[in-house]
Structure 1
Amino acid sequence: MERLLFYFLALMVLVGTSVLPAFSQETLKTNKGQELPTPKGIANMLFYVQRDPNTNTIVYELNLDSKGGLVEAEPVKIYWIRYADGGNRQDLNFIQRKFAYGLNVRKISADKYELNFVAYGKRAFTLQKGPDGRFHVYAPVNKKQAVLDRVFVRIEGGSFWVPNVVYAEFKGRETATGKEIVERFKP
């Protein structure tokens, strides 16, 4: 599992060369047929990551202090929602945080940060305030700037350390139009 994100992020390098057609959001299911839930009731959620083989979801949430200000030292909280285990929240363990789903964060300017997944540092995302005055994570999706909402990784077989990634999918909202935009990558 910990290596899963590494393989997914490596796929992002292929954005310009192996993009499949965009698909509208349909109900995604695990390879075992379980519907993947959309996290709800998280006011400051930035985006979330889902992958096979189960419904457990990694949430990336804006980290605010008790006064509602951004915690600059760690602007994004990351945790599991363990849907397969009753929906409890659980912190990432050390390996997940340091080698897979964690983020490297670099402050660029006031209210603007560069984010990179620890598993793959060559593709950067930006955390910054949008025109609505709220923080969002911006990422290229189908070669267009988008507010990132969801990442999904389809796995069929392989092993714990070397999963067979069939595709990865980004879903967001195009910044210029507000329209949903989806991009699938083929390994």
Structure 2
Amino acid sequence: MNLGRKRFLVFLILLTGIFSMVNSGIAANRESVDKMMYNTDPQDTFPVPVGIKNQLFYLQRTTNTNTIIYSLNVNDKGELDESTPVKVFWIRYPEGGMRKELNFIQKAFAYGTISRKNRDGSFTIQLVAYKKKEFTLKKSLLDNTYKMYTLINNKESEIKRVYIQIDPGGTLFNPNVRYIEMKGKEAATNKPIMERFKP
């Protein structure tokens, strides 16, 4: 084998090694990106409602980005309507972020609330679709404004967001819920808190 052919073979071996390293790097990067995308929960890509007056918390579901807003129901003077202290409505992001009222079925069977005034002036609030979880609407000791509280990880917390992971296979009135995620702030420390549970 002459010197020129040897050099050519060495060049091919080196070139093959370089391509192998490049392809390995691309594959590793692709795997890393795929892993990052896989680990990104769908709710982390959903829009976050901002600038909504008297908002208490909001609810989102896997099915689409339409968002249910739970807000304080006050009149023009800022006085609370004690007969219906929580107002519920849609923000329809796929329709340009328009606001829309709940229809009768949505209000009565899915996203509406039941309220009861307590002796201390607070209100016990339940969602009609999941009455096991109770919320308390009361004034904060920090700023004397109404906020919604519930237990998250057995700690009293101001609820800010509810997300429902729905899998295929259920029905309109009995969806296949994999988990409910609640996010908020601990009342005692103001630290972020989160809990997922199977209803």
Superposed displacement of residue 84, structure 1: 1.5
Alpha-carbon offset, residue 75 of structure 1 = 1.0
User: Which letter does structure 2 place at the counterpart of 1:165?
Assistant: V
Q: How many residues align?
A: 159
> What are the residue-to-residue correspondences of 1:125-164 with 2, within 5 Å?
125-131=135-141, 132-161=143-172, 162-164=174-176
Give the deviation of 1:27 after TM superposition. 7.0
Determine what percentage of the aligned residue pairs are the same residue. Answer: 48
The residue type paired with residue 35 of structure 1 is: T
In structure 1, runs of 5+ residues without a counterpart are 1-25
Counterpart secondary structure, 1:58: strand
Task: State TM-score, norm by structure 2.
Answer: 0.74
CA distance in 2, matches of 1:144, 1:177: 10
Letter in 1 for 2:175: P
CA contact (8 A) 1:104 1:115 kept: yes
Which of the two has greater strand per residue? 1
Give the alignment partner of residue 45 of structure 1, picking from 18, 34, 55.
55
The 5 A counterparts of 1:6-155 are: 28-29=41-42, 35-109=45-119, 111-131=121-141, 132-155=143-166
**Residue number in structure 2 paired with 1:175:** 187
Whether the aligned pair in 2 keeps the contact of 1:111 and 1:128 (CA below 8 Å) is yes
Equivalent residue, structure 2, for 1:186: 198
State the one-letter code of the partner of 2:193: I
**Residue pair 1:35, 1:55 contacting (<8 A) in 2 also:** no
Structure possessing the higher relative contact order (Cα contacts under 8 Å, 6 or more residues apart)? 1
Q: Which has the larger radius of gyration?
A: 2
Q: Tell me the SS of whatever aligns to 2:118.
A: strand
Deviations 1:133-174 (A, max 9, x none): 010111000010000000001122123424322211000100
Q: TM-score, normalised by structure 1?
A: 0.79
Alignment check: 8 A CA contact 1:28 1:36 kept? no
